[in-house]
């Protein structure tokens, strides 16, 4: 940093050395290698030790599709053998890349590992489906469509979670926000006959839950996790009570919501597989695409996002440049509530058409897990939510065809995936530094 000349006088070096970035050492992580190894063992067990014989078809399109793709028929046992070999090779690749930590360029190594993990997951899934559904057709489009359906509330919830946590308030109340949104949208849409007013009501309901969270967490500095948990219990109790004491008394006028029907986007919806899955959906799903894009761009490219993240990372620094920490937190937690509320409306205005007791059934917590799994990044959180949605849907599909895996076991699947994800299997999760910490001025 400095030069020491003959007189013992110190002069600052003229060149660039001062702003040298502190060297960072890359750490070797065996998590990916171990996970792949375990799944390789599972595939050896399933596909080589207990193989099932017969044909499995992968159906890529429905009868009335404009462009019709042929169904792939595969031999389950053969697929299993080929895939197992592939998985072992991929595991070896990841082990090699892990051993080379420090010698490989970090970026190259990350790309190799990520690509290997993705190929591994897809290959394993193909072989598993072929194995589990021998003698049946796998409705690929249906499987993906169901995934999106189940993921929509999770994604809305996760976006609410990302915003809230990024601004520094842990949002355990996503469950309550979803449930309040579901309840209010059902009732208001039934009363007004308009699903659009129902959506608005869902947002208001989510905001109201957020107000309570924000008031206690920001103004009264109550532990945010505790407020969140209590809110969930409160909303569950309140909606259940109102459901049995009000909604069921006159279900025809109060709990028969008009549903948002799918709207096919001309052109796009004709694309095989992707079209029917992504572009023949209800308006709420299109809103979701926009919300995810806006949250992502907003967080990282705009003044709103910069201030929001500053408040969540280092509230005092934000305060010293004139940003009102409490106000920023309050309104953004409210915004998070509005977005999560929309997710709740999906249950009543798209999936079911009426409110049922405790119909959210833990989706809020899975959304919270998606936030952490997605490392507080809107896009990654969305992908995580889709993964959880896929796990849930897989269980539905396998239960329907009567797979050899007990359905009780399959019911655990989404939650097992959640636990593995949150336990940091996929990498270190470091959240916003000040998330969960109340800001006390001075």
Partner 1 sequence: MKLELRGITKKFGAFTANDRINLVVEPGQIHCLLGENGAGKSTLMNVLYGLYQADGGEILLDDEVQQFAGPGDAMRAGIGMVHQHFMLVPVFTVAENVILGHEQAGFAGVLKMKEARARVREISARFGFDVDPDARVGDLPVGVQQRVEIIKALSQDARVLVFDEPTAVLTPQETDELMAIMQQLRAEGRSIVFITHKLREVREVADAITVIRLGKIVGEADPTASNAELAALMVGRSVDLTVHKEPAKPGSEVLKVSGLTVLDENGLKVVNDVSFSLRQGEILAIAGVQGNGQTELTEALLGLQQKVSGSITLNGSEILGTSVRSILDAGVGFVPEDRNRDGLIAEFTIAENLMLDRSTGAPFVKAGSVQREYRDAFATEKRTEFDIRSGSINSFASELSGGNQQKVVLARELSRDLALFVAAQPTRGIDVGSIEFVHKRMVATRDAGVPVIVVSTELDEVVALADRIAVMYRGEIVGIVPANTPREVLGLMMAGERHAEETDASAEVSA
Indicate the residue among 164 and 255 with the shorter CB distance to partner 1.
164
Footprint of partner 1 (CB under 8 A): 1-2, 4, 8-10, 12, 14-16, 18-22, 24-25, 27, 298, 301-304, 306-307, 309-310, 313-314, 316-324, 433, 441-442
Overall size of the chain counted in residues: 442
Maximum pairwise Cα distance, the chain? 95
Q: What are the φ and ψ backbone dihedral angles of 51, each rounded to 5 degrees?
A: -75, 155
Indicate the residue among 9 and 49 with the shorter CB distance to partner 1.
9
Confirm if 41 and 74 have CB atoms less than 8 A apart: no
Question: Tokens 């078809």 — which residue?
Answer: 57
**Rounded-to-integer distance, Cα 57 and Cα 37, Å:** 28
Return the half-sphere exposure (C-beta side, CA atoms, 13 A cut-off) of residue 23. 3
Strand order in the sheet with 72-75: 72-75, 55-59, 137-139
Confirm if 200 and 266 have CB atoms less than 8 A apart: no
Least distance (Å) between residue 267 CB and partner 1: 28
Indicate the residue among 312 and 353 with the shorter CB distance to partner 1.
312
Q: What are the φ and ψ backbone dihedral angles of 425, each rounded to 5 degrees?
A: -60, -30
Tokens standing for residue 93: 């690749």
Least distance (Å) between residue 12 CB and partner 1: 5
Indicate the residue among 191 and 326 with the shorter CB distance to partner 1.
326
Least distance (Å) between residue 34 CB and partner 1: 17
Least distance (Å) between residue 37 CB and partner 1: 22
Least distance (Å) between residue 251 CB and partner 1: 44
Indicate the residue among 63 and 303 with the shorter CB distance to partner 1.
303
Distance from CA of residue 132 to its chain's centroid?
A: 26
Least distance (Å) between residue 370 CB and partner 1: 21
Indicate the residue among 65 and 377 with the shorter CB distance to partner 1.
377
Least distance (Å) between residue 432 CB and partner 1: 8
Using CA atoms, how far residue 440 sits from 108, 218, 319, 387, in Å, is: 44, 9, 11, 38
Indicate the residue among 168 and 195 with the shorter CB distance to partner 1.
168
Other CB atoms within a 10 A radius of the CB of residue 148 amount to 18
Tokens standing for residue 75: 């031999």
Query: What are the DSSP calls for 372-433, one per residue?
Result: HHTTT-HHHHHHHHHHHHHHHHHHHHHHHHT-SS-HHHHHHHHHHHHHHHHTTTTS-----T
Indicate the residue among 51 and 298 with the shorter CB distance to partner 1.
298
Indicate the residue among 249 and 327 with the shorter CB distance to partner 1.
327
Least distance (Å) between residue 110 CB and partner 1: 17
Least distance (Å) between residue 311 CB and partner 1: 10
Tokens standing for residue 258: 């008009």
Least distance (Å) between residue 36 CB and partner 1: 22
**Rounded-to-integer distance, Cα 353 and Cα 189, Å:** 10
Spell out a b/e string for 158-172, using b for 16 or more CB atoms within 10 Å of the CB, else e: bbbbbbbbbbbbbbb
Indicate the residue among 50 and 304 with the shorter CB distance to partner 1.
304
How far apart, in Å, do the first and last CA atoms of the chain sit? 35
């Amino acid at each position: 940093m400095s030069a020491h000349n003959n007189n013992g006088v110190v002069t600052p070096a003229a060149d660039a050395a001062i702003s040298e970035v502190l060297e960072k050492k890359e750490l070797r992580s065996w998590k990916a290698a171990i996970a792949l190894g375990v799944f390789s063992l599972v595939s050896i067990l399933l596909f080589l030790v207990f193989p099932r014989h017969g044909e499995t078809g992968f159906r890529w399109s429905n009868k009335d599709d404009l462009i019709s793709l042929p169904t792939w028929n595969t031999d389950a046992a053969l697929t299993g053998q080929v895939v197992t070999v592939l998985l072992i090779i991929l595991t070896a690749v990841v082990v090699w890349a892990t051993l080379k930590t420090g010698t490989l360029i970090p970026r190259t190594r990350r790309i190799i590992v990520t690509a290997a993990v993705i190929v591994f997951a897809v290959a394993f899934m193909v072989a598993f489906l072929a194995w589990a559904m021998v003698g049946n057709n796998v409705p690929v489009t249906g499987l993906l469509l169901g995934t999106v359906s189940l993921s929509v509330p999770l994604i809305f919830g996760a976006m609410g979670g990302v915003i809230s946590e990024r601004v520094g308030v842990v949002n355990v109340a996503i469950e309550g926000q979803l449930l309040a949104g579901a309840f209010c949208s059902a009732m208001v849409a039934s009363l007004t006959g308009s699903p659009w007013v129902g959506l608005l009501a869902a947002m208001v309901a989510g905001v109201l839950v957020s107000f309570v969270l924000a008031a206690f967490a920001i103004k009264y500095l109550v532990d945010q996790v505790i407020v969140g948990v209590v809110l969930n219990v409160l909303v569950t109790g309140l909606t259940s009570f109102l459901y049995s004491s009000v909604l069921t008394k006159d279900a025809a006028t109060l709990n028969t919501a008009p549903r948002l029907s799918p709207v096919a986007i001309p052109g796009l919806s004709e694309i095989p597989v992707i079209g029917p899955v992504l572009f023949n959906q209800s308006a709420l799903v299109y809103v979701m695409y926009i919300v995810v894009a806006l949250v992502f761009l907003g967080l990282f490219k705009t003044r709103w996002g910069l201030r929001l993240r500053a408040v969540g990372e280092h509230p005092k620094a934000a305060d010293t440049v004139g940003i009102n920490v409490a106000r920023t937190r309050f309104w953004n937690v409210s915004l998070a509530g509005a977005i999560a509320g929309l997710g709740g409306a999906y249950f009543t205005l798209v999936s079911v058409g009426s409110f049922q007791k405790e119909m959210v059934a833990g989706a809020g917590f899975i959304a919270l897990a998606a936030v952490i799994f997605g490392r507080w990044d809107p896009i990654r959180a969305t992908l995580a939510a889709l993964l959880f949605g896929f796990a849930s849907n897989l269980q539905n599909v396998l239960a329907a065809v009567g797979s050899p895996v007990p359905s009780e076991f399959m019911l655990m699947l989404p939650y097992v995936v959640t636990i593995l994800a949150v336990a940091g299997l996929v990498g270190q999760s470091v959240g916003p530094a000040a998330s969960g910490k109340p800001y006390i001025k001075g």
